[in-house]
Structure 1
Amino acid sequence: MSRVSAARRHRRSAVDCARCGRSNPDDAVFCGECGASLVSAIICSACGRSSPPGTKFCHSCGQPLAASAAAALGDGPVEAPVSERALPTSFAKGRYQVKSFLGEGGKKRVYLAHDTLLDRDVAFALIKADGLDDVGKERITREAQAMGRLGTHPHIVSVFDLGTEPLANGDGPQPFIVTELMSGGDVESLIEQAPDHRVSIERAIQIATETTLGLEFAHEKGIIHRDLKPGKSGSRVTEEPRSGTLDWR
């Protein structure tokens, strides 16, 4: 094969980086110039729908995309999260029917559930009780009570219910908090999914303004938020769009 033919074949199989424009081999996963991911989409192993690179949870079914992303990046098999391997069917004696898994942090696992009593979708947060002493349980109760005292505000996530769920191993009750469902996820995920990881100036101003309005309302009631951040325990957004704050202490 001539050098010209080889060069033409190389150009046809090259992958151009969307960030810096450099051409990379067709089997490249990351750009050799700027390190940006060259994976065009992550396919959910549960439902088969595609999501943009960097997406943590499937937009269609809510399942974690960690295993799917690892496969796309050539990292080999990854053990599925506990919440993905064993999805509960319901909580609170069947009142809250689990529809999908929303996310997991260091302190709790959150599910999309349907409140069969009031016929509405909610966010059901199951607090991790392992190693949680009486002081920790009291703190969780105070957090929910603080959110409840705030009442209704368009930019503060509302608390609907608080209770305990028996542990499967019979060791004792596991606290849970039921809140308003903010369907758009957290601000951190919003930024990760945005082109070049940047939201528009207008959207950023809107989120900041609405968050501070919620904080101002809480401060007037003598309640402060000690851990405000864009991730799971801070500002969240809806698809309308609207932002709200949760996890008050």
Structure 2
Amino acid sequence: MSELELPASIGPFRIVRRLGAGGMAETFEGMREGPGGFAQRVCVKRVLPTYEQNEELGKLFLREARLAAELSHRAITRIVELGEDGAGHYLAMELVDGPDLRTLLRRQPSGRLPRALAVLVAVEIASALEHAHARGIAHRDVSPANVLIGRDGDVKLTDFG
């Protein structure tokens, strides 16, 4: 599959669109459908094919899933499923419908958030980190790219790898 092609599915999730790609993984919007009109939108993360055979990266990917699954907090993306299909491991998590903080900052002419939003983001991320640290889990990469701002106003910390 070329980088421009979308997989039809990953595990039980029908792939809707590509959300992005990072250094070792790419993310997609996925949909799990079931009887009676059941539909669940998720973010599906998969290690890039060039790294799938790298044992060390595989361990990091599984570590991220394990750590994030231990956390239940309003400002941390919720893990839905960790699985494996013919192409390798995938991680399905709560889909946050909105930009990351890096994108949001770039859209601001001043490069700064309005004060009220900045305070909300700071409070929510501090609360998420406090929750994780109380369980002995360190994030290790808190950055604007790993803070998601939902269109509903929710602030979520993601990517506990």
Q: Which residue of 2 aligns with 1:210?
A: 124
* One of 116, 141, 147 as aligned partner of 1:235: 147
Is residue 2:60 matched to residue 1:139? yes
Query: AA paired with 1:238?
Result: G
TM superposition score normalised by structure 1: 0.59
Distance (Å, rounded) in 1 between the aligned partners of 2:28 and 2:64: 19
TM superposition score normalised by structure 2: 0.89
Is residue 2:8 matched to residue 1:89? yes
Is residue 2:99 matched to residue 1:185? yes
Query: AA paired with 2:155?
Result: S
> What are the within-5 Å matches in structure 2 for residues 33-44 of structure 1?
none
Distance (Å, rounded) in 2 between the aligned partners of 1:221 and 1:211: 16
Deviations along 1:82-112, one digit per CA (max 9) or x if unpaired, are: 54x21222121xx211111111111111111
* One of 67, 72, 80 as aligned partner of 1:160: 80
Distance (Å, rounded) in 1 between the aligned partners of 2:31 and 2:142: 28
Query: AA paired with 1:163?
Result: G
Q: Which residue of 2 aligns with 1:220?
A: 134
Instruction: List runs of 5+ in structure 2 lacking aligned partners.
Output: none
Look up the SS of the partner of 2:142 in the other structure: coil
Distance (Å, rounded) in 2 between the aligned partners of 1:237 and 1:229: 13
* One of 88, 108, 113 as aligned partner of 2:30: 113
Larger proportion of strand: 2
Distance (Å, rounded) in 2 between the aligned partners of 1:195 and 1:87: 34
Look up the SS of the partner of 1:145 in the other structure: helix
Look up the SS of the partner of 1:144 in the other structure: helix
Look up the SS of the partner of 1:195 in the other structure: coil
Larger proportion of helix: 2
CA shift at 1:196, angstroms?
3.5
CA shift at 1:129, angstroms?
4.0
Higher Cα radius of gyration:
1
Instruction: List runs of 5+ in structure 1 lacking aligned partners.
Output: 1-81, 168-173
Percent same amino acid at aligned positions?
24
Deviations along 1:131-156, one digit per CA (max 9) or x if unpaired, are: 44222212211110110011x21001
Distance (Å, rounded) in 2 between the aligned partners of 1:200 and 1:115: 36
CA shift at 1:185, angstroms?
2.1
Look up the SS of the partner of 1:130 in the other structure: helix
